[in-house]
Amino acid sequence: MEETLIEEIVLRYRRLVPMTTHGEHLLFMKVKHAHMMHPLQLDALLIATDEDLVHDVEGIAQHFDTAAGVYRELFWPRYAAACGGQCNHTGH
């Protein structure tokens, strides 16, 4: 279910930003890894405004460090789920 939502989010992003240099597979893996480390509200992100969806997907692609499992450069997704202190970060 989550992978299907992530795939739909990535496909919508690619329709909105067709000239992106990020490939579908890379975007899928980045969003999936980001979601695994710091949960995203995938249902809400899928139906978010175009601006919010592009912000979050582009931001994840550019600022999520997959090796460390953290966001860099003060980025935080608008559709990040509240983690209840379970994540190791200071993003919210």
Does 76 fall in a domain? no
Does 49 fall in a domain? yes
Domain count, the chain: 1
* Prediction pTM value: 0.89
Instruction: Tell me what pLDDT residue 84 has.
Output: 63
Does 92 fall in a domain? no
Does 42 fall in a domain? yes
Could you read off the pLDDT of 27-40 as tens digits, one per residue? 999 999 999 999 99
Would you list the DSSP string of 49-80? Answer: -HHHHHHHHHHHHHHEETTTTEE-TT---TTB
Does 91 fall in a domain? no
Domain containing 57 equals: 2-71
Instruction: Tell me what pLDDT residue 90 has.
Output: 52
Does 6 fall in a domain? yes
Does 12 fall in a domain? yes
Q: Rounded to the nearest 5°, which phi and psi values hold at 64?
A: -85, 120
| Burial (CB count within 10 angstroms: exposed 0-12, middle 13-18, buried 19+), residue 73 | exposed
- Top pLDDT among 90 and 46 is at 46
